[in-house]
Every structure is written in structure tokens, then in C-alpha cells.
Amino acid sequence: MEYRKIKDEDNDGGTVSNDIENLRGIGFSGVASVSNVPPREQAKWKRKTVVTVALTFLTSSQAILIVWSKRAGKYEYSVTTANFLVETLKCALSLAALARIWKSEGVTEDNRLSTTLDEVIVYPIPALLYLVKNLLQYYIFAYVDAPGYQILKNLNIISTGVLYRIILKKKLSDIQWAAFILLCAGCTTAQLNSRSDHVLQTSLPGWIMAIVMALLSGFAGVYTEAIIKKRPSRNINVQNFWLYIFGMTFNAIAILIQDFDAVMNKGFFHGYSIITTLMILNHALSGIAVSMVMKYADNIVKVYSTSVAMLLTAVVSVLLFGFNLTLAFFLGATVVSVSVYLHSAGKLQR
């Protein structure tokens, strides 16, 4: 696959490190220093900042909505239909964005939906990986509790860094690798509580599902970034459209295989509530935000964004669920902050 040869200097995609290098030496003392930055670079940096912040806040509310969508400790709605609606909504939002672009800019080679088989044929792979990963996200709770899931989910941090290096051939400095390990340790520390030792007693199926989820999430994310950045000038909404079309297809197949009888007997929207609807909307917007972060930044930024989101989730849980912030949380949050700083410093030294 040619996607293994993506270079750091992709024209429009680029990486955050490129922007940091461009902004190096620029102070924050006043408007005069910022004005020295070319308008195009300012626009790119602003766009990356907006999508990253959006992803952070959307992800921080994701786990809360999933927990709220349960009734008496179980999902009364069909998980497969919920995932199908997420993909459908993402596809509709991408089409709506394209319609606005076509109206204002007209149809061009980079924003038209028509494409070649070679371009489209790569999209089923990440769509299938995301399907399996999303389904595991629901069923892993049969083997681990919510705190244990949050801790095991941190395996995704390491898997993303390793696959990012292997698949995209992008090097991370020694400082960045150290920052990555600190990030994983900090996130884990922040989630420790009196029941955390039970994670080590997780059954074999639970460990297998956690490891598979981490690998699927890392590989799907890195592979999707490779696809999106293969053609930097291609409009992100077109790329999203084809990715979500296959996502809808695979989720429709999952409904037929797993929940066909339940859907036919009880109805497609059986068990849905306002919280379920908000969860679907959140997942859809989060998915679009993830793809935009991959387009305009990279998977490393996504990992840090979701890690910070975890800390925000804990803070919000104080108000919603009476969650008590422990010393472990403050220590973990400090380690995560140091990790973010080291990662930025490591980019400047590359």
C-alpha cells in the first residue's frame, strides 16, 4: 500500500510540529509579533486548534452519555441500530457541509463526490475496524466495570504511538516517547480508586477485548489518517462521506446478523430516549471532529486531546455523579500536564 509512505511534509495536511516550527521564536507579548505569521499559517493553526478543542469537549461527555443511556444497568435500545444512526448522521452532516461548499464555491475536482475505484476501495477497511471497536466498547462492560474500562482503555495510547511509527513511518523523538509513557501513566494514575486493584483480576475475555480494542482503535485511526492525507487537497467532507457510507453498510449488516428479530418485533427505535438521542449526536460530532483532527493535525494530537477529555470527564462527574476528586487524580492530572509539555518540547527539538 502506498499509504505507508505518507511523509511529514504533506502539503495541506502537515503536522502540528510543522506549525510549531513556523511559529518558533514568535512571542505572545502583543499583536505585533503575531502579525509576522503568514495569514495562511495563522488560518491553519486556528483551524487545528478549533477542531482539537471541539474533540476534547465532545469526548469528555461521551462516556457520561453512554452511562446515562443505560436503564437498570443495561441498554434497552439496540446498540447496532444506535451505531447505524451515528454513521447515518455523520454522512448527512458531511453532505450538508458539501452542499454549502458547492453553493458558495461550485463543484471542483477536489470537492466532487464522484471518484475512482482506487480511492474508494480503501475506505471499507477502517469502517470495518471502527464497527468492531465500537461494538466491543459496549460489550466489554460485561467483564469489567466502568473504572476498570477507563484504565484498560489507556492501552490505546501506547498502541497508537507504536502503530503511528510503524504504518506512517513518522519518527517520535526520545522525549516524545517518554512523554507518551508518562501520558499513559498519568491517565491511569488519575483513574485509580479503592477498586482499581480489581483490574488485575479481570477475566481473560476482558483482557483480550481490551487489547483488541486498543489495537483496533490505534490501527483504524492511523490507517484513516494515511487515507485522508494521501490526497491533502481533497475536501475532508468528501472523504468523510465515503468512509461513513461504508460505516452505514457494515452497521446495517450487523443489525441483520445480531438484532434483526428484536428490531422486527420491537421496532427500530425501541428503548430510545432523549439521552440516547444526545449520545448518538455526540458520537456523530465526535467522529467528524476526529477525522478533521487527522486531516489537519495527526493521531498524536487526537490521543492527547482524548486524554485531556478524560480529565474533564472526571471533573464534570463531580457535579453530576458526586465523584470525589482524589489525590491520585491530582497527581495523574499533573503527570498528564507534564507529558503535554514534554511532547511539545520534543517537537521543537526534532
* Helical residues (DSSP H) of 273-326, grouped into ranges: 274-296, 299-321
| Stronger pLDDT, 319 or 5, i.e. the higher one | 319
Q: What is the pLDDT of residues 262-306, one digit of tens each?
A: 999 999 999 999 999 999 999 999 989 988 888 887 888 888 887
User: pTM for this one?
Assistant: 0.73
Cβ neighbours of 194 (radius 10 Å): 8
Between CA 332 and CA 104 the distance in angstroms is 47
Name every residue whose Cβ is closer than 8 Å to that of residue 193 and which is 6 or more positions away in sequence.
Answer: 147, 326, 328
Between CA 26 and CA 19 the distance in angstroms is 12
* pLDDT exceeds 50 at position 28: no
Predicted confidence band at 32 (pLDDT cuts at 50, 70, 90)? very low
Between CA 218 and CA 139 the distance in angstroms is 19
* pLDDT exceeds 60 at position 2: no
What cell was used for 237? 467532507
Q: What is the pLDDT of residues 159-203, one digit of tens each?
A: 888 888 888 888 878 888 888 899 889 888 887 776 666 777 778
Predicted confidence band at 11 (pLDDT cuts at 50, 70, 90)? very low
* pLDDT exceeds 90 at position 252: yes
Three-state SS letters, 171-228: CCCHHHHHHHHHHHHHHHHHCCCCCHHHHHHCCHHHHHHHHHHHHHHHHHHHHHHHHH
- In terms of average pLDDT, the best of 10-19, 20-29, 46-55 is 46-55
Q: What is the pLDDT of residue 288?
A: 92
Q: What is the pLDDT of residue 4?
A: 40
Helix (H, G, I), strand (E, B) or coil at 56: helix
Q: What is the pLDDT of residues 113-149, one digit of tens each?
A: 988 888 889 989 988 888 888 778 777 877 777 667 7
Which residue is associated with the grid cell 450538508?
A: 96
How many residues are given for the chain?
350
Judge whether 183 and 233 are in contact, CB under 8 Å.
Answer: no
